Amino acid sequence: MVIGIHAIAAFKKQRTGVEEYAFQLIRHLAMLTEAREHRFLLYTNSEIPNPKSQILNKYKIPNKKFQTLNLPSNFEIRILKCPILWTQFRLSLEMLKKECDVLFIPAHILPIFHPRNSVAVVHGLEYEYFPEYYPFWFGKYLRWATKYSVKRAKKIIAVSESTKKDLIKFYGIDERKIKVIYHGAEIVNSKSQVPNKYQIPNSKYQNYILYIGRIESKKNTFGIIKSFEIFKEKYKLSSKLTLVGSPGFGYENIKYQIQNTKYKNDIVETGYLNEEEKEALLQNASMMLFPSFCEGFGMPILEAQAKGVPIITSDASSMPEVGGQGALYVEPNDYNDIADKIYALLTDENLRNDTINRGYENVKRFSWEKCARETLKILLS
């Protein structure tokens, strides 16, 4: 069988949730023994990073310090040039050649012309719950593109049971058409060092609270900062808050909030970090704070648990489903409760160790190999 994959996200230099999903999925599909008898066409829109490196007589694309995307000979990269409307125009034209038997879309936007056997992944419908946290026209586009994809795809992969329920609730999709396949997680033992420019200690439990994700309204960054203010005011501890991620929608208001808090000197913004830097921050953090309003999955939860970092996250949408028994849960608008739980994790050693151990157990439920194998099964069906 010839399987086409919309692979732009996998080759991006700065990978966040969807990009990391596409990268890891393709990486692990290439490792599966049962995938060797099939041909994979990876469609992308520009030159891949470091294309001069070779492996297996084909491609080697360096990404993480610990990982490379090693593609065997049955994986072929197709670079399709187009300045705008790449998916709806250029990829559609490619689909008219009818070279692939099935088209896989890791990021839910199906081209106008596509094979009858197409599979789309939906990572979340947050814009349906919180349209005010999206630029107006972008929110409109997301709604149109997702509706179009889920109604015309042969099969839909939802990344959580929560997302599956949302697809049924908002778009009336037959649940028999939807397959839930979780993201994976990897436990990587490393000794990375935090870059000196952030002035963050390089030893474990140095009393900084970590957030990883886009700095934007829908992630409840305002609530994180407000909860940190209450925590500092109430408990008078020296802890710092480290925000890791690129600016998103509503960042101007968040930046104003940071600049006008009396604890601004205890808040560090790093911007986007590469994987080595992020690993270092994770392994040295006191805890992860992730009280997002809504998540289709919530990969930072597993990233924290895999590194033995206790996490506070929301009791909303998919987050309890993903975090299992290995997290402390809060209502995202209850800033006082968040502040109290921060203090509890810092001062109650039994609670801290129990949360870490439960996190280690929980993360064992998730595997990129399992994700790839279940996805391949859907593609072949």
Q: Are strands 59-62 and 68-71 parallel, antiparallel or unpaired?
A: antiparallel
Residues 6+ apart with CB under 8 A from 249: 133, 134, 135, 216, 217, 218
Q: What is the pLDDT of residues 244-264, one digit of tens each?
A: 999 999 999 999 999 999 999
User: Given a cut of 60, is residue 50 above it in pLDDT?
Assistant: no
Say yes or no to pLDDT of 216 above 60.
yes
pLDDT > 90 fraction of the chain, expressed in percent and rounded: 75
Tell me, what's the pLDDT at 280? 83
Q: Which two tokens stand for residue 244?
A: 């890791």
pLDDT higher than threshold 80 for residue 47:
no
How many other CB atoms sit within 10 Å of the CB of residue 68? 16
For the segment(s) 2-184+367-380, the CATH number from 3.40.50.2000, 3.30.365.10, 3.40.50.2300, 3.40.50.280 is 3.40.50.2000
Q: Do domains 2-184+367-380 and 196-363 have the same CATH topology?
A: yes
Closest CA to 324 of 287, 291, 365: 365
Residue of 244, 294, 279, 7 lying closest to 128 (CA atoms): 294
- Tell me: pLDDT of 195 over 90: no
263: closest CA among 221, 289, 226, 229?
229
Centre a 10 Å sphere on the Cβ of residue 47 and count the other Cβ atoms it contains.
Answer: 11
Other C-beta atoms closer than 10 Å to the C-beta of 248 total 17
CATH architecture of 196-363: 3-Layer(aba) Sandwich (3.40)
Which neighbouring-strand residues pair with 118?
A: 103
pLDDT in tens, 294-311: 999 999 999 999 999 999
Per-residue model confidence as pLDDT tens digits over 149-158: 999 999 999 9
pLDDT of 74 higher than 60 = yes
**Cβ atoms of 308 and 274 closer than 8 Å:** no
Tell me the domain boundaries of the chain.
Answer: 2-184+367-380, 196-363
φ, ψ for residue 328, nearest 5 deg: -100, 135
Confidence bin at 193 (pLDDT 50/70/90): low
Beta bridge partners of 44: 79
Point out the least confidently predicted range of 56-70, 106-120, 142-156, 336-350.
56-70
**Claim: this prediction has a pTM higher than 0.85:** yes
Residues 6 or more apart whose CB falls under 8 angstroms from that of 296 comprise 122, 123, 124, 125, 126, 159, 160, 162, 163, 317, 318
- CA gap 360, 345 in Å, rounded: 16
For 326-340, what is the mean pLDDT? Answer: 98
Rounded Cα distance between 259 and 283, Å, is 28
The answer to which of 58-62, 71-75, 241-245, 364-368 has the lowest mean pLDDT is 58-62
